[in-house]
Structure 1
Amino acid sequence: MLTHLLQKTLVLKLLTGLCLNSWSQKEIAVKSFELSEMQYLIRWREMYVVQIQKNGWKQRLQTAKATGLNTVCAYLFGICMKNSPISLPGSKTF
């Protein structure tokens, strides 16, 4: 059941991507990309989930926005994805 649902979702995303690709012209450069003749500059930084407390995320994201960032990469380590709650040294329990 889950595999069938994932396959349907993947096919839907693929078809949506193909449709969007046909409607807009894209060009990717080293520091920016162009979509439908509008240039977008990507300014990003990385944030590590295990190093930020739950109540600190809002402040971090507001600070990132205030400094001009428009993209944040959040790393989720495999140890955080397990079903049982674990405790990492110096961080919250996941």
Structure 2
Amino acid sequence: MRSNDASVTLLVRPMPVGPRNAIDRLRSHDRMESIARLRAAVLALDHVHVEGWDDSALTEHLEEISASLCALDAQVSRVADAVRARGFRIAEPLAA
């Protein structure tokens, strides 16, 4: 530091004590990632358009589509049931 520099005042905020704050930040980060994953799943499904497939293509992939749809349904039900088990209601967003 040069001798003719003006003095610098630092504002120091107290750091939270213990690992609790770090755990809370991780939990918050995990929650935000979970919400982002749900939104990504919705966006991914927005790009699935089987109505444009011909019957032979649909028949060819029907087993895989059925398995995927059943797995999606099971996961959506699992998440919704967990929310309801906590006493919360799942409601459709109001139309804009």
> Which of the five TM-score ranges fits, normalised by the shorter chain?
under 0.3
Q: Give the structure with higher Rg (CA).
A: 2
TM-score normalised per structure 1: 0.28
TM-score normalised per structure 2: 0.27
Higher share in helix? 2
